[in-house]
A and B are shown apart, each in its own frame.
Chain A
Amino acid sequence: MLADPSSLAQKLSALVGEEYVLTGPAAARFAVDAVVPALAVRPGSQQEVASVAAACSAAGASMLQWTDGALIGLGNPPSRLDVVVCLDRLTRIVEFDDANLNVSVEAGVPLDALQAVLSAKHEFLPLDPAQSDQVTVGGLVQTNASGPRRLLYGSLRDWVLGLRVVLPGGERIRCGGKVIKNVSGYDMNKIFIGNLGTLGIVTEATFKLLPAPATRATVVGVFAQLSEVGAVVGRTLESFLLPEALEALDPQALASLGPALGLNGAAGYGLAVSMAGSRETVERQVRDFAALFGEGKALKVETLGAERADAAWRAIRDVHAKLPMGRVIAKIAIPIGKTLDLLSAAEGLMRRHEWRGAITAHAGSGIVRAGIEVGAGSDLEPLREAILSLRREAEALDGSLVLEVAPLSLKRSLDTWGKVREGFSVMRRLKAEFDPRALLTQGRFLGGI
Chain B
Amino acid sequence: MPDLSALEAKSTSKVELSADLRQVVGKDNVLDSGVNLALYGYDAYLEERRPDAVAFVHSTEEVVGVVKVCNKWGAPFVARGGGTNLSGGTVPVKGGVVIEMIRMNKVLEVDRASLRARVQPGVFNLEFGNALAPLGYQYLPDPASQKAATLGGNVAENSGGPHCFKYGVTTNHVLGMTVVLPDGEVARLGGKAPDTPGYDLTGVFVGSEGTFGICTEIVAKIVRLPEGVKTLLAIYDSIEEGSETVSAIVAAGMIPATLEMMDQLVIEAVEASIKCGFPLDCATVLIIEVDGLKDDLELQAQAITDICKKHGAREVRVAKNDAERAALWAGRRGAFGAVARITPSYLVCDGTVPRTALPAVLRKVAEVSKKYDLKIPNVFHAGDGNLHPLILFDWRNSEQKARVMKAGMEILELCVQMGGTISGEHGVGIEKMDAMRLCFTEEDIEAQVKVKRAFDPKDLSNPGKIFPVAQEVAHAG
Contacts and interface: CB of A to CB of B under 8 A. Distances in A.
Contact between A and B in the complex (any CB pair below 8 Å): yes
Contact of A427 (B179, B199, B426): B199
B224 to A, nearest CB: 6
Contact of A183 (B424, B443, B455): B424
Given A187-B206, A427-B198, A177 B420 contact: yes
Interface stretch (A11-19, A238-246, A294-302): A238-246
B319 interface: no
Contacts of B441: 173-174
Given A174-B441, A186-B207, A179 B352 contact: yes
B158 A423 contact: no
Contact of A186 (B111, B439, B451): B451
B466 interface: yes
B459 interface: no
A187 B207 contact: yes
Contact of B201 (A100, A172, A426): A426
Contacts of A283: 295
Given A177-B439, A183-B427, A402 B451 contact: no
Contacts of B201: 191, 423, 426-427
Interface in B376-396: 381, 384-386
B193 A397 contact: yes
A184 B157 CA distance: 10
A155 B195 contact: yes
Contact of A400 (B197, B299, B384): B197
A445 B198 contact: yes
B225 to A, nearest CB: 8
Contacts, number: 270
Residue from A185, A186, A285, A427 with most neighbouring chain B CB atoms (10 Å): A185
A314 B80 CA distance: 48
B293 A281 contact: yes
A266 to B, nearest CB: 28
Interface string B170-202: 011000000101000111110111111111111
Contact of B443 (A97, A173, A284, A434): A173
Interface string A88-128: 00000000010111100000000000000000001000000
A339 to B, nearest CB: 9
A280 B297 CA distance: 10
A356 interface: no
Contacts of B457: 429
A411 interface: no
Given A179-B353, A187-B206, A336-B113, A280 B295 contact: yes
B111 A335 contact: yes
B121 interface: no
A336 B175 CA distance: 13
Q: At the interface, is chain B mostly helix, strand, loop or mixed?
A: mixed
B198 A424 contact: yes
Interface string B202-223: 1110111000000000000000
Given A333-B195, A338-B114, A186 B208 contact: yes
B334 interface: no
Nearest to A99: B356
Contacts of A144: 195, 200
A278 interface: yes
Contacts of A338: 114
A278 B299 contact: yes
A284 B454 contact: no
Contacts of A199: 199
Contact of B193 (A102, A175, A186, A333): A333
B448 interface: yes
A174 B440 contact: yes
Interface in B106-148: 111-116
Contact of B424 (A181, A186, A417): A181
Given A178-B354, A211-B254, A338-B114, A278 B296 contact: yes
30 contacts: A99-B355, A154-B168, A157-B171, A167-B443, A173-B441, A174-B440, A175-B444, A178-B354, A179-B424, A181-B352, A182-B421, A184-B440, A185-B440, A186-B452, A186-B466, A187-B158, A187-B203, A190-B200, A240-B224, A284-B295, A285-B293, A336-B115, A366-B193, A367-B195, A398-B192, A402-B195, A417-B198, A420-B198, A421-B198, A445-B198
What 8 pairs between A and B have smallest CB-CB spacing? A423-B187, A190-B203, A337-B113, A399-B193, A240-B227, A211-B253, A433-B450, A181-B424
Given A174-B444, A280-B299, A417-B198, 15 more contacts: A99-B251, A144-B195, A173-B447, A183-B157, A183-B158, A185-B436, A191-B200, A211-B255, A239-B224, A277-B296, A335-B113, A400-B197, A422-B186, A422-B188, A423-B187
Interface of B: 111-116, 157-158, 160, 164-165, 168-169, 171-172, 179, 181, 185-189, 191-204, 206-208, 224, 226-227, 247, 250-251, 253-255, 292-293, 295-296, 299-300, 352-356, 381, 384-386, 419-428, 432, 436, 439-441, 443-448, 450-455, 457, 466
Interface of A: 97, 99-102, 122, 144, 146, 154-155, 157-158, 165, 167, 171-175, 177-191, 193-195, 199, 210-212, 214, 234, 237-242, 277-278, 280-281, 283-285, 331, 333-338, 364-367, 394, 397-400, 402, 417-418, 420-427, 429-430, 432-434, 445-447
